[in-house]
Structure 1
Amino acid sequence: MLQELIATGFFVGRFRYAPGTVGTLLGIPLVYLFAFKWWLVAILGIFLYLVGFWACSYVVDMRKESDPEDVIIDEVLGYFLSYMLIEPTLESILVGFFTFRLLDIFKPYPINLFEKLPKGHGVMADDAIAGLINSVILFFLFH
């Protein structure tokens, strides 16, 4: 039960419309509070990945689905990692939200390779890579 609670963002992922977008919105307070130093983003990102992997692996096994729609911890992680290279501002939070959603929805190469990993890694890794790629995009846009 705890794993499902974490994986779904305290069941926010069960929101009927656009759960991935809602999950990304959950990342905004995390970015605002903790994304002011790259090393803090790295440490918290690793922690989120490990907890998310644990929770997602449980949900994937339980439901026999490779990436359940209501699992949103991966979007929270990916959006948070988008601020590895820049500090958040109102403008970068808005632009980063849209660029991350585009990367997450369309999953261009090499992001699409990571969703093929097994269990929780397949759920978490593609969004983590999308977030890191988004961080590079935001760096070039805002520096």
Structure 2
Amino acid sequence: MSKFFKFLATLGPIGYAPASGTVATLVAAPLVWAMEDLSFDDYLLVSGVLLVASFWIIQRALGAFASKNHDPSEIVLDEVVGFVCLFTIVPITPLAIVLAFILFRFFDIVKPFGIKRCENLVGSIGIVVDDLLAAFFAGAILAFCILLLERF
């Protein structure tokens, strides 16, 4: 059964691609666009279910990795979840998706503002929470930019 959860956590072959986090975020972009017509409440519900499921799936998948790394790079479901959750902060538009992609990848790779420390949290919590914080900072900056553009 852990192989099944490993498959879900790695999004099949995507977790084994070069720059797998970036590839997974690229996969998440059309998913976000497909949810563009959802009401905010429905989007929030889908994001919440995906978030809760990701904690559960990733925790069960961890046993299938031989690596002693507490955050195996092959696990990329957290990138998808983070990117989807980012759009609970900003509206979904093609430009927002592109800018969110750039900002999210920046914060997920560089991990400033204590994001790096979250990786030390136990199990799936550490794996997912750092991506949620990256999404939060990316979304906050993007929301601020949108507000500025609307004023001028």
TM-score by length of 2: 0.84
> Which residue of 2 is the match for residue 67 of structure 1?
71
Q: Which amino acid counterpart does residue 116 of structure 1 have in structure 2?
A: N
Residue in structure 2 matched with residue 47 of structure 1 by the alignment: 49
Equivalent runs, 1:103-142 vs 2, <5 Å: 103-142=107-146
Structure 2's unaligned 5+ residue stretches are 148-152
Number of residues paired by the alignment? 142
RMSD of equivalent CA atoms = 1.6
Q: Tell me what 2:150 maps to.
A: none
Q: In the alignment, is the contact (CA less than 8 A) between 2:6 and 2:62 conserved in 1?
A: no
Residues 75-109 of structure 1: CA deviation (Å, up to 9, x unaligned): 00111112112222121111110000000001112
- 1:53 CA displacement: 1.4
Counterpart CA distance in 1 for 2:39 and 2:145 is 18
Percent identity among equivalent residues?
A: 29
In the aligned structure 1, how far is the partner of 2:138 from the partner of 2:115?
Answer: 11
Deviation at 1:124, TM superposition (A): 0.8
Distance 2:20 2:146 in 1: 28
In structure 2, how many angstroms separate the alpha carbons of the residues matched to 1:139 and 1:56?
29
Report the TM-score, using the length of structure 1 for normalisation.
0.89
| Structure 1 contact 34–40 (Cα < 8 Å) conserved | no
SS in 1 for 2:12: coil
Q: Secondary structure at the match of 1:85?
A: coil
Say whether the 8 Å CA contact 2:78–2:128 is kept in structure 1: yes
Matched, 1:88 2:92: yes
For the residues of structure 1 that align with 2:89 and 2:52, how far apart are their CA atoms? Answer: 21
